[in-house]
Structure 1
């Protein structure tokens, strides 16, 4: 599978751009602040239906324009299909597949599997739990529409439950029946999410172990563990709903006092261990970066295996942040059938001598394209 054609209209600093992209390695070069990252953001938006760089959709609309549009043609094993995303200054985002309107994001995500790797992702291991949850959620959402729908449903229930809890602190009478209703709803949907995450980790851990041995040049003990907030134990996938319900019941007095939900998928974490120790606390920066590269490579390999199609891989200025050895090992490990797009001010040494398609960007304009 590869993205064959890409069209941008009033997207960031691009007024009107049309590209025909080959499979294989694509290098996007240009000075800083010329639009390299914007081009990759557009590709990620086309794949995910939402930007990986901003939570405010209207940010992608070019200054002075009323709406941005990104569309593309994707070639896969049995043919091709079209995708399009339109984002306005006001009003909801619009998604289309083969020209047909798609109402739910869950029915759009995963059609073009993609792995986006930005500089901020280098903090995946040492950063806050929210980044690791986002990593897991994005991967699972591309694998399972049901998971994505459960995630949306959970966030809606969580928002409503928190509003109810805050109301108790403002003098609203505590109703045990209402408390039970919210606990049951949250634990049912939250349990589904936790079960999906636990099953994913069993697969992701092995892919990460294999990828890590490539990145560092030999085997090391890498483990992934799911950590539930406010719980010393982690249930099996089958027991996740019951475990969360019991946890919420135990936390009920504290939640009423705090006015917020203290346990659930929104507060859980993914622990990465290296040689039996938590990497976030005890691994060096170099070791942490090797783990991040391994996790992102594992994401590519897992999507490729489950989808039976090679995903789109997007490197946004990441290689420049890596030493030469890690650059080389990472690029060498990418399967040949994975369309890989790299942004950089200059060609990274790791891609020197490789066959590639190069795109030169200047001030929101594609000034040159050539096979190299």
Structure 2
């Protein structure tokens, strides 16, 4: 639970100290006032990185060299403070309860934040790589003991691809490929199993939340099987020609369907938005059930393209997922009264 946030030289904010209430917080203001910057700061302060950019320089106020985000809150009633310092020309630094963490991104293993931004529609409408990345992040949150699997598989795959290139260049024999083929097979099988388990966990709450929002008969389907040594050996010539491994979970697809239609190609933008929101709500529900510390949920401009009934349903559901912070251009966008209403004007935020 976030109790307060302090910003210094972050994006459009010179200096801001803000207290946050538990429950549903609505952040309102004109377009360009700084609502998204506030949510972005909360994501940086709890996850160590921005959901909008990987360039720390873009997070620093235009005429400053450093920015700082400090978030104070509670985990199971235990006071918790996170401090993240960003610099234009130096690595960012993070401290958790005063102690340095090995990397700012390590915060995501300690704190859980889920975010919706308009560009998250790419989870449905984008290419397979976007859905794989989304699923692997959910895997890390829902199955923390297996969170390293995507990185471990990626590292083994990188080594096999490097061996393929060495063989193609005449600097190694085909025998050098065998250890990495075996490693890719072992880790690939483990990764596929973990992905399938994650999808199985998400399937029911996703279908229920989607149904509430008017998206019926939804399903999540994994398309792809773990590679075997025989399969990889049989296509070595093709892999040598293309310079990389052409079989495995790095190429698998996750289909998101409604009434049998693949929403990537046959869904409207409204349906794609509902699917992404249903995924977020489903994971928030699972995390709240599986941990005594519910996630922080950030929704930027999630209400603008929903009709009144769907805004009411979403608002009611957000009241049950822990602490949720939602942006909108006006208070009328949310049918239910929030626990706290904040009004943003350029560079400042006040409680209404």
TM over 0.5: yes
Residues 94-127 of structure 1: CA distance to partner in whole angstroms, max 9, x if unpaired? 2321111121567531432221000112343222
Match of 1:204 in 2: 202
Match of 1:361 in 2: 344
Q: Partners in 2 of 1:248 and 1:90 — Cα distance?
A: 44
* Contact 1:29–1:344 (CA under 8 A) maintained in structure 2: yes
* Contact 1:214–1:333 (CA under 8 A) maintained in structure 2: no
Gaps of 5+ in 1: 229-233, 235-239
Map 1:235-314; keep pairs closer than 5 Å: 240=226, 243-314=227-298
Map 1:120-269; keep pairs closer than 5 Å: 120-169=119-168, 171-216=169-214, 220-228=216-224, 234=225, 240=226, 243-269=227-253
Distance change >3 Å, CA 67–CA 334, structure 1 → 2: same
* Contact 1:168–1:259 (CA under 8 A) maintained in structure 2: no
Distance change >3 Å, CA 198–CA 105, structure 1 → 2: farther
Distance change >3 Å, CA 190–CA 28, structure 1 → 2: same
Q: Partners in 1 of 2:43 and 2:229 — Cα distance?
A: 36
Q: How far 1:46 sits from its partner (Å)?
A: 2.2
Q: Partners in 2 of 1:53 and 1:111 — Cα distance?
A: 21
Q: Partners in 2 of 1:77 and 1:254 — Cα distance?
A: 54
Residues 117-176 of structure 1: CA distance to partner in whole angstroms, max 9, x if unpaired? 00112343222222222321222223344444333333344444434434444x234422
Q: Partners in 2 of 1:49 and 1:95 — Cα distance?
A: 7
The TM-score, its normalising length taken from structure 1, stands at 0.85
Distance change >3 Å, CA 107–CA 123, structure 1 → 2: closer
Gaps of 5+ in 2: none
Q: How many residues align?
A: 352
The TM-score, its normalising length taken from structure 2, stands at 0.90
Residues 260-300 of structure 1: CA distance to partner in whole angstroms, max 9, x if unpaired? 23233332221122223323233444433332222121121
Q: How far 1:26 sits from its partner (Å)?
A: 1.2
* Contact 1:40–1:316 (CA under 8 A) maintained in structure 2: yes
* Contact 1:319–1:348 (CA under 8 A) maintained in structure 2: no
SS in 2 for 1:321: coil
* Contact 1:227–1:271 (CA under 8 A) maintained in structure 2: yes
Q: How far 1:255 sits from its partner (Å)?
A: 1.6
Distance change >3 Å, CA 364–CA 161, structure 1 → 2: farther
Q: How far 1:226 sits from its partner (Å)?
A: 1.0
Residues 326-348 of structure 1: CA distance to partner in whole angstroms, max 9, x if unpaired? 22221122243521111122224
